[in-house]
Amino acid sequence: MQTLNWSITSGHRRPDGVRKKVYLINGVFPGPTIEARSGDTLQILVRNDLEDEEISLHWHGLYMRGANTMDGATGVTQCGIGPGKSFWYNFTISEAQSGTFWYHAHSNVQRADGLYGGFVVHRPVSPSFPNVRGLFEKHRGLNDNMSGEMRVPDSVEYVYDKELLLMIGDWYHRTAQDVASWYLWWGSRGYEGKGSITALFDRGMSTDNPRSLTGITLGVAKGKLEVITLDGGIPVETKPHVNDKSSAGVLFPGQRMDFILRPPKDRGDHYSWITVKLDESDFKIGNPALEPLQSFPILLSPVSSSSLLSIQPDTLEDEKNIISSESNIIDIQNLSSTPTILAALPSKAEQIHVVYAKVEKLSRLQNIPHGFFNRTTWKMQSNPAYPLLGLARNQWDKHQLAITTGDRPVWIDFIVNNLDEGAHPFHLHGHNFYVVAVDQSADGSTWGSYNPWSKNKIKNGPYLQDGNSEVVLYDLSKAVLRDTVQIPRRGYAVLRIRADNPGVWLFHCHVMWHLVGGMAMLIDSMNGSDDVAHQPWLAVEGSECRV
């Protein structure tokens, strides 16, 4: 068991020279990296030492099986932690999970101001595979429940010398609340604020994207990248020619990738450069003050302090050349999971659910941008937020759109249509999902919506024939297991989910400004709303908000 004691405060930092208020965990910005092992139990006491804000923390990518009340979604699974109050997060990491995760605020917009941190789950060293180099191997599950396959430690399967965690976050020159207030104003016309890039290196090469708006592509000036896993240690199928590249992307908000950075064979240089490129494909308007390319030095071998000070950046043109050429980028959105992972994927689902997502500005809502699923915009049911888990399902209000999967484990096809002119990265709490199809309108002039029951099949649809059957089948050979998916403009995704984790789980856009505008809904898995509701536990010490 690992016990942590955290105090949440605020302070001022200036990583790029611009002083701004940020959130601190035990005085650290961003928060400390948690390192644990599969099967570990964590007890984390979070004390809110802010003056006038509620907080909560979500453990992004972890199943939280048997611990729905610890998921950290204010207004869904818990009350917000009020000023001067504390909350014990108590949960056990699944034996089947390992890899790169992260935690972040799931209350208001505090994530964009630094209330987040890394969460790395390692594989315990097995007697069969001793830790010969003294490394703390990352754990992908000695017996993965998705495959049943016994796996060797990463540092044996993939030869590397050291692990690093790279978190690439937002740095707005205004507070996130200022940005949100501007976006949630009729005059914003739905244009989200644009910040700058801040690269945050920590011990423990995995890449986390905790950004609030856009995706990123990562490139190295010298060496090659080999992408090995996505979204929490899920191995991907790659070919040698795919990994013979020096850039990888696009990594969208909430997504993670683990990769091996292989230095050039000629190690004459002691240093190289990591370049981060902002994805501008969905920006509605340009921002001349925004620098989409930023580079950071990395050391390939030890150097003296004087040598370090003499390092000069490569020319900007050279930096651009690393990422601008598509032939030099590993397209991680088109990678598929390994055959072993795909072996657990059934050919058909037992249930199909279809939703339509869109940001709209309606006169009845004062033309303020709101996110919708099936004409329902989500918001917390009360102020202060009272968790849905404390209410019977028939007490939920009209803003709580939920899919109910029944009282037993079941495979569902969750079809999400994006009716917007911009893409959305969607994240599901408590589950992974197989992305079995994703596409967008081919010419951009028509809607790429997909209804599996419609007789009017869309052009280039994801269909396979099943004899004379009316059941729609998909090409599963290129599916990928993830917990966050980017759905393109005027496009759709078919997500096949094993709904076997009892609870009420949030599904939402991970663009911060869209979530705060209501682009969220719920999946009620295995009648979780009935099983958990009315349990008399004190949500927050000294608070009147009870469940």
What is the rounded average pLDDT of the residues 227-253?
A: 86
Closest CA to 29 of 10, 3, 54, 49: 10
List CB contacts of 288: < 8 A, sequence separation 6 or more. none
Name the residue with higher pLDDT: 434 or 308. Answer: 434
Q: How confident is the model at residue 144 (pLDDT cuts 50, 70, 90)?
A: very low
Q: Which domain holds residue 363?
A: 341-532
**37-66 tens-digit pLDDT:** 999 999 999 999 999 999 999 999 999 999
Q: How far apart are CA 511 and CA 425, in angstroms?
A: 7
Helix (H, G, I), strand (E, B) or coil at 299: strand
pLDDT in the model for residue 129: 43
Q: How confident is the model at residue 286 (pLDDT cuts 50, 70, 90)?
A: low
Asked whether residue 153 is assigned to any structural domain, the reply reads: no
Residue 36: CB atoms within 10 A of its CB come to 17
pLDDT above 70 as % of the chain: 73
pLDDT above 90 as % of the chain: 46
Residue 195 pLDDT > 80, yes or no?
no
**What is the phi/psi pair of residue 68, to 5°?**
-55, -35
8 Å CB contact between 260 and 290: no
| Ramachandran bin of 353, using left for φ above 0, alpha for ψ from -120 to 50, beta for the remaining angles | beta
Helix (H, G, I), strand (E, B) or coil at 41: strand
Quote the Cα angle for 67-431-110, to 5°: 70
Q: Could you give the number of structural domains in the chain? A: 1
Name the residue with higher pLDDT: 129 or 482. Answer: 482
Average pLDDT of every residue of the chain:
81
**What residue ranges in 246-400 does DSSP mark as E strands?**
247-251, 256-262, 271-278, 293-299, 329-331, 336-337, 351-361, 369-373
Q: How confident is the model at residue 131 (pLDDT cuts 50, 70, 90)?
A: very low
Question: Which is it for strands 351-361 and 410-418: parallel, antiparallel or unpaired?
Answer: parallel
Q: How confident is the model at residue 518 (pLDDT cuts 50, 70, 90)?
A: very high
The CATH number covering residue 345 comes to 2.60.40.420
C-alpha atoms less than 13 angstroms from C-alpha of 23 in its C-beta half-sphere:
32
pLDDT in the model for residue 221: 82
8 Å CB contact between 350 and 411: yes
Element of type H or E holding 243:
helix 240-243
What is the rounded average pLDDT of the residues 144-162?
A: 53
Residue 188 pLDDT > 80, yes or no?
no
**What's at 73, amino acid-wise?**
A
What is the rounded average pLDDT of the residues 266-292?
A: 73
Helix (H, G, I), strand (E, B) or coil at 395: helix
What is the rounded average pLDDT of the residues 126-145?
A: 38
Residue 23: CB atoms within 10 A of its CB come to 23
Q: How confident is the model at residue 162 (pLDDT cuts 50, 70, 90)?
A: confident
Asked whether residue 6 is assigned to any structural domain, the reply reads: no
pTM here?
Answer: 0.87
**404-459 tens-digit pLDDT:** 999 999 999 999 999 998 899 999 999 999 999 998 877 656 677 888 887 665 55
Asked whether residue 518 is assigned to any structural domain, the reply reads: yes
pLDDT in the model for residue 381: 87
Q: How confident is the model at residue 537 (pLDDT cuts 50, 70, 90)?
A: very low
Q: How confident is the model at residue 288 (pLDDT cuts 50, 70, 90)?
A: confident
Terminal Cα-to-Cα distance of the chain (whole angstroms): 26
Q: How far apart are CA 465 and CA 190, in angstroms?
A: 41
pLDDT in the model for residue 187: 63
Q: How confident is the model at residue 146 (pLDDT cuts 50, 70, 90)?
A: very low
Q: How far apart are CA 473 and CA 487, in angstroms?
A: 20
pLDDT in the model for residue 369: 86
Q: How far apart are CA 111 and CA 209, in angstroms?
A: 12
Asked whether residue 38 is assigned to any structural domain, the reply reads: no
Closest CA to 257 of 224, 223, 234, 280: 234
Q: To 10 degrees, the CA torsion angle through 429, 430, 435, 441?
A: -20
Residue 2 pLDDT > 90, yes or no?
yes
Residue 437: CB atoms within 10 A of its CB come to 22
Asked whether residue 426 is assigned to any structural domain, the reply reads: yes
Asked whether residue 504 is assigned to any structural domain, the reply reads: yes
The contacts found for 183-186 with CB under 8 angstroms, 24 or more apart, are 183/369, 183/513, 183/516, 183/517, 184/368, 184/369, 184/513, 184/516, 184/517, 185/368, 186/361, 186/366, 186/367, 186/368
Estimate to the nearest angstrom the gap between the alpha carbon of 501 and the chain centroid. 19
Asked whether residue 407 is assigned to any structural domain, the reply reads: yes
